[in-house]
Amino acid sequence: MIACLKGGSIGIEERHHRHSITSRAAKPDLHVRRKKENAYGIVWKAVDRRTGEVVAVKKIFDAFRNQTDAQRTFREIMFLQEFGDHNNIVKLHNVIKAENDKDIYLVFEFMDTDELRRFDLIFTETDLHNVIKRGSILKDVHKRYIMYQMFKATKYLHSGNVIHRDQKPSNILLDSECVVKVCDFGLARSLTQIGVDAETGDPNLTEYVATRWYRAPEILLGSHRYTKGVDMWSLGCILGEMLGGKPLFPGSSTLNQIEKIMSVIPSPTREDIDSIKSAYGSSVLEKASSKSKKSIEDLLPDAPKDGVDLLRRLIQFNPDKRITADEALRHPFVSRFHNAAEEISLNYDVVPPLSDDVQLTVEEYRNKLYEGNWKTECYLPVAFGRTTYNDPRDARGRQQRQRTYDQLPHGSQSAAAMQDPYPPMPKSRQASAPAANRGSRPGSQYRNNPTITREETKGGLAVTSSRLLGIGRLLKCALDPLPPIPTSYQAYRDAYNDTYHEGYQDVYHDAFTSDEPVPGQRPVSATSAQKQKPIYGRKQFNNAINNPSHGAPKAYFGSYTQNVGTISSSALASIQAASTARVYPAVLGSSVTLECSVRQEDKLVWDRGDGSRVIAVNGAFYPGVNTSSYLLQNTSVGQSLIIHSLSLIDDGTYRCYDLKNATNKQLMNVTILVEPPYVWSTGPNGIIEEGTKQVFICTADGGKPPPNMEWILIDRKANRKSFIGLNTDHRYTNGTYRRTNRLEIITSRDMYRASMICKVSISYFYEVQQTIVLDVNLYPLAPKFTDFTGLFDDGRVHNIECYSTGSRPAGSIYWQIDGNPVSSTADSTTKGADGLFYQSSTLSMRLTKNIQGQMLKCLVTNQVLQNQQKPDLFVQVMLLANFAPSIIADNGSRSVIEDNDVIMTCDVDARPLTVAGQFIWVHNGNPITSNSVYNITNDVLSVSKMTSTLHISPVSKASFGQYYCQASNHLGTQKSKVLTLDVQYRPVCAFQTKERHAGVLGKRLTLNCPVSSNPQNVTMTWRYVTRSSPPIRQNLAGLRMVNGFRYTTIDIDIRSASQFTDIECVATNSLGSSKAPCMYRIVKPGPPEIPHDCKSTATSDTEYVISCTPGFDGGYHQYFILQHLDDGQFHPSANNSDPNFTVQGLSQDKNFTYRVCSATDAFPQVTSCSNAIVISTGESMLSFFFSLSLQNMSLLVCYDFAHYYLI
């Protein structure tokens, strides 16, 4: 597979610029277009002109700049060569030498992204990093399938005792069918090459490996012990990034990376720390572990539980505790894809041909790659199909083994042959065990048991070995029908039975293009240009094309070499030629070169495959052959037959064979491609209707092979939809075909003003389109109401609008209520710019409560519906009336004794129901609010019914009176009938405070005792409180009614000072005595008390009202004086019988001070004055409160932002 192909295959050279490919590289076999560039290289999309296969050509800049780069390049190519037969590892097709000897070209399989383009996901790279970055592209099933494939690939690598060491999203390629390919093996290492003692392992393993965000803790902590767990940790980071949409541990430095990891995973035990064997791991972890912890569930709140569980098993600190790739394949997160047959493993170690601890010179690495003979000498003896590394020190041992073999008896050789040299071998869990510990393998028998290998005999098949079973395996592989290498025409032959022929691709495209580079981007598989996708449904990575024969590439570029013998490339080709025919596609009038590599023993014969005509024998044309159409040419591997001016009679099978041994032959199939000269299509004629079946027919006549036919519907918004019809083929005698494709389809709305295109094509050969313009009549769309939900106000006229769109021809709207027709009042029809009609209808009528619950239906029809006898389209709604409240409540009168409970109910029927503030209970004309006595509860029974309850507990004298409930909505207000509550209670004094009365010795004092009572059969008792005296029985007046109160009067003669005390009046009825008697205090006469609670209120900018509450008058009639402050002295301003005054004519922006005083004629020398009242006029409206102590005139100031007032 490694070759430098000059002139005959793929040639690439550098002349003037590092980004250029010269014409010699492009002319013969490659059609190239540059796709992507970064610091390490550049990637082109290319087409192999021999096979039509699309490939990716990666140019690595300065691949041999120094020994380290050369070693990495060599190692990557070796591992790609070894693991390329796995479906989830990128396949290396070829290695091409650059003429400057500094760069190198790698030819990979191409990752197709056509399907992604259909969703406008146009990537410059089809890698997992870019897919995650775009967000929300990957669904849950995609993430599971990607992880499953990565575990498969990793299991395959680990089974060969190799670790990748650089697994990250940008190294995981994706195609349009979510197939994964792992790439970039530049950091991969074979664990077999590491010493048994991990402490003395390869020091190169401690160097920078893997992008920091995906490094395992042991790498970050500088451990020398590497295990397969480093790859499993990276896979865990990739899983976390897919689940969360962003990197799991995006550390900014090594220390920060450790801190981020330790903030999520559990703190490691001493055993875990010791397992990584890091000199400074404990100190670093102690610092990092002090950070606050966060669980995986907190980090990924939307992740599935099985995904979190798998992630937790992958990011274990101890590498020995991490889940293995094989175990991960059986985890529930990916178990739906689990298939043991596909999860293949190697039963041997894969070891590079050169040890990593031995660095060759740059020139030696370059020669190893380009010599082409490295396969015969580079690998350790590991297994079938893998070349072995022959240490020069073992040359003597090989000679000894050869001599021993020659001396063995025949029976011993047969016995040795019966042993299986490649028994199944148990895999270690994660340990980096050396090859010597991995069980019995052929390599271990070099020194223990004599194994014999002869030299290859040039020119033929020579297999000599004591292991006949190994030979059987070898022959079985060799006899399988394999495609010729390096071409892929066998894949064309396999696909030829279908309508799409991959082998046709780009055979006739000679143009060479090279775009400008896109700097700063990583060269992953290039995205392909838009092209016809194969219709036969094979996956992008078809085994016959991308994985040809699992060994044929090695047979072509060198020999298989193992301890059981050798097969040369020429011998393998001769075996293969007997059973397969190479396909040569060509067009009429062109030329084709048939290559024959049959080993000639006698005479080489060319003829048609059916034996109908001999063309040439032993280098000379057979008599009767038109020599102007043929040309024979000797080549380095045999002979070529060139056929000029191809016609249809040249189509078919050719063969070359040795006349002496006819079984030694080679078959070639020339396939003539012919573009059909006649292509036409037919479809419906005239106007068609939505919902009807239509037939489209497309015919291609005279082509070869039958073309791919696809119908494409392009609607009026330029959206595209594909259809596949039924093919019928007729083959003419000249080998051409007439293909007819019939498509039956039901006309849909998106066909209005659309075009149906018949696309006839063979990819990379021709494409013809036939267009049919459609003229479609449409159903109307279902009607809709405009802002009408079915609710209406009872008794009002409503205008209800209904409309329908999208009809062609115009439709009509009509109305029904419970199936009965209703006449509309206004209808209109409008034609839109798109040619479709808009219909509207308005129903105007008075709706009343008696139609509540009936169905109002708006229906639309047009001629299309009627022609197809389809039901009319409609929208309907139930009519529900809004109505004013109606109330049923307790009413009449009810008698209750105080301290008991009363419950009243009120039932309301209304739509809409009353809300807060629209339903109230009223007592004696005043709304009731819930408090400690009144408790109101509202129970909503339905959308229109409610019950309200008023609970009075306990009932008292204040509960007496009339009650009703009231409900309101936007249609009206309703009151319930009145319920009168008659409360029976013990007598209650008309006043609640103790009254003071002035008495004079020697004179009589009259006291009145007013009480309310129900019932009114009241008796009253007077007594002195402080002297515990008996009731006073003198000078009592009888009971009388005054303003609803029961009155009794007593006259008291003041004879001594002891009578200046408290007196009480106790009232009693049939329910008992009053809870609080009427209280009186007899005092000596004196000056009036100071007015209190004084305040000022502004009635305008210049007028204020000053008011106070009068104090006790001292026993005499008092009057009041308003005084104002002027020059530090108060002066009278006005007199009044009550303490209320109006001050007018106040100036702006000034302060005025007043006070109110009380006086009596009995004490003219005493004036009782209030605190100062300060009024401030002006725009600021700031007020101050001055409290002037009457004793010392001290001034207290308070602030208020409204106006000055006095408390």
Put residue 161 in one of left, alpha, beta given phi > 0 → left and psi -120 to 50 → alpha.
left
| Residue 990 contacts residue 1011 (beta carbons within 8 Å) | yes
* Cα Rg of the chain, angstroms: 54
Q: Which two tokens stand for residue 994?
A: 């103790």
Q: What is the dihedral of CA 939, 942, 947, 948, to 10 degrees?
A: 50
Length of the chain: 1207
Q: State the Cα angle at 310 between 304 and 311, rounded to 5°.
A: 90
Do residues 145 and 87 touch, judged by C-beta distance below 8 A? no
Query: Where do runs of H (alpha helix) occur along 84-139?
Result: 114-117, 128-134
Q: How far is CA 379 from the centre of its chain?
A: 48
710 in the Ramachandran plot: left (φ > 0), alpha (ψ -120 to 50) or beta? Answer: beta
| Strand-pair category, 1019-1024 with 1062-1069 | antiparallel
Token pair of 180 as six digits: 């994964």
In sequence order, what are the beta bridge partners of 163?
A: 189
- Residues sharing a CB contact under 8 Å with residue 999, sequence separation 6 or more, in sequence order: 1005, 1052, 1054, 1059, 1060, 1082, 1083, 1084, 1085, 1115
- Calpha distance 255→748 (Å, rounded): 63
CA-nearest of 24, 337, 4, 343 to 157 is 343
* 563 alpha carbon, distance to own chain's centre: 55
Given 48, 112, 127, 166, which residue is catalytic? 166
Alpha helices in 598-663 (DSSP H): none
Q: What is the residue whose two structure tokens read 């140019």?
A: 59
The DSSP string of 535-596 is TT---TT-HHHHS-TTTHHHHHHS-EEETTEEE-HHHHHHHHHTT-EEEEEEETT--EEEEE
Q: How far is it, in rounded angstroms, from Cα 404 to Cα 412?
A: 11
As a whole number of angstroms, the distance between CA 395 and CA 170 comes to: 45
What distance lies between CA 519 and its chain's CA centroid?
31
In 10 A of CB 440, how many CB atoms?
12
Q: Which residues contact 837 (CB under 8 A, 6 or more apart)?
A: 780, 805, 806, 807, 808, 809, 810, 811, 829, 830, 831
Tell me the three state secondary structure of residue 131. helix
CA distances from 998 to 841, 881, 1165 (A): 89, 72, 19
Could you tell me the sign of the dihedral formed by the alpha carbons of 880, 886, 887, 888, in that order?
A: negative
Closest to 1172 measured CA to CA, from 1182, 1193, 1159, 1186: 1186
Nearest to 811 by CA among 781, 769, 766, 772: 781
Could you tell me which of 343, 238, 222 has the C-alpha nearest to residue 282?
Answer: 222
C-alpha angle 1000-1002-1003 in degrees, rounded to nearest 5: 60
166 is an active site residue: yes
Q: List, in order, residues 6 or more apart from 497 with CB less than 8 Å away.
A: none
Residues with catalytic roles: 166
